[in-house]
């Protein structure tokens, strides 16, 4: 798939081939939606649609929330859905203080502190899977969660793409790029193995044995018939085939260190609310620009 191939490129040059690729989707408890009289989410739903559903699905009893609309909404996915990020896709520009990024971080914090549809750290402490426990109506999940959910869920469930912010229904891809070291003594053998894994027989085997999502066009329809695939698994194949994915991180060596400086700021915003989010994000962005020489 062309867009999957591009996940192994830097400045238009191919440095790696992709063995498997996927993206987070949003799992939802059909029984909870039915009980609350809420319409099931659609593939093209938005943040506004999501929030409206999450508010209706959050239940309080005696001043305590006993059911949350959403278990989690990861920061990276919020940023991507709104056209933001920590740094630009080419790794040359800090964008955590862009309007799109600030809006996304505020929205994530407001889910917790303003709308109370997502648990605080304290409320979720000791609970590893509120969705499966029947304490949250929605949860971010990938194909790696399908088996466990199919095995342990005591309710009807399905998946849809993540709700769209300003960027539309785009997803941060989760993928395995494999390259060949330039100093290898066995380039021919290495390339044969890489071909086997990324385009050859390995692509057929992995679907049937480990339910890894294929990246070749010939196996696109097999995503829908993978073991434990939910009813709307086709939505994932559409995301991958139609190019609605972006890199989840730029290929720059400083990225992990940059994230380690930004994430505590976001954690603080999530803990204390979004009031000073713009100021805090601009301060850390300027710090990173100065320290790493980025725009």
- pTM of the prediction? 0.88
The string of pLDDT tens digits covering residues 139-184 is 999 988 998 999 999 999 999 999 999 988 888 888 899 999 999 9
DSSP 253-274: TTHHHHHHHHHHHHHHHHHH-S
286 to 94, 262, 281: CA distances (angstroms): 8, 11, 9
With b meaning 16 or more CB within 10 Å and e meaning fewer, what string describes 5-27? bbbbeeeeeeebbbbbbbbbbbb
Banded model confidence at residue 262, pLDDT cuts 50, 70, 90: very high
Average pLDDT score over residue span 124-152: 88
Per residue, the 3-state secondary structure of 196-223, as one string, reads HHHCCHHHHHHHHHCCCCCCCHHHHHHH
């Amino acid at each position: 798939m062309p867009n999957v191939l591009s996940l192994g490129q830097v400045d238009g040059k191919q440095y790696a081939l992709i063995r498997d690729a996927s993206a987070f989707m949003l799992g939802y408890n059909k029984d909870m939606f039915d009980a609350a009289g809420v319409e099931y989410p659609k593939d093209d739903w938005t943040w506004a649609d999501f929030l409206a559903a999450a508010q209706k699905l959050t239940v309080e009893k005696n001043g305590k929330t006993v059911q949350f609309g959403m278990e989690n909404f990861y920061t990276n996915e919020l940023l991507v859905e709104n056209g933001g990020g920590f740094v630009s896709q080419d790794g040359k520009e800090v964008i955590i203080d862009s309007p799109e990024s600030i809006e996304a971080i505020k929205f994530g914090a407001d889910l917790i502190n303003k709308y109370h549809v997502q648990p605080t750290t304290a409320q979720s402490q000791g609970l590893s899977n509120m969705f499966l426990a029947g304490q949250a109506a929605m949860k971010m999940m990938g194909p790696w969660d399908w088996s466990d959910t199919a095995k342990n869920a005591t309710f009807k469930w399905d998946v849809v793409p993540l709700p769209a912010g300003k960027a539309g229904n785009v997803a941060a891809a989760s993928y395995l790029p494999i390259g060949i070291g330039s100093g290898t003594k066995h380039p021919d053998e290495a390339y044969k193995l890489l071909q086997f894994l990324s385009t050859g027989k390995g692509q057929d085997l992995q679907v049937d044995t480990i339910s890894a999502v294929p990246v070749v066009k010939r196996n696109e329809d097999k995503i829908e018939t993978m073991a434990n695939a939910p009813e709307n698994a086709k939505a994932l194949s559409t995301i991958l085939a139609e190019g609605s994915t972006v890199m989840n991180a730029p290929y720059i060596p400083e990225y992990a260190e940059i994230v380690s400086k930004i994430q505590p700021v976001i954690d603080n915003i999530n803990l204390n609310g979004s009031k000073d989010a713009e100021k805090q994000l601009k301060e850390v962005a300027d710090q990173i620009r100065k320290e790493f020489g980025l725009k």
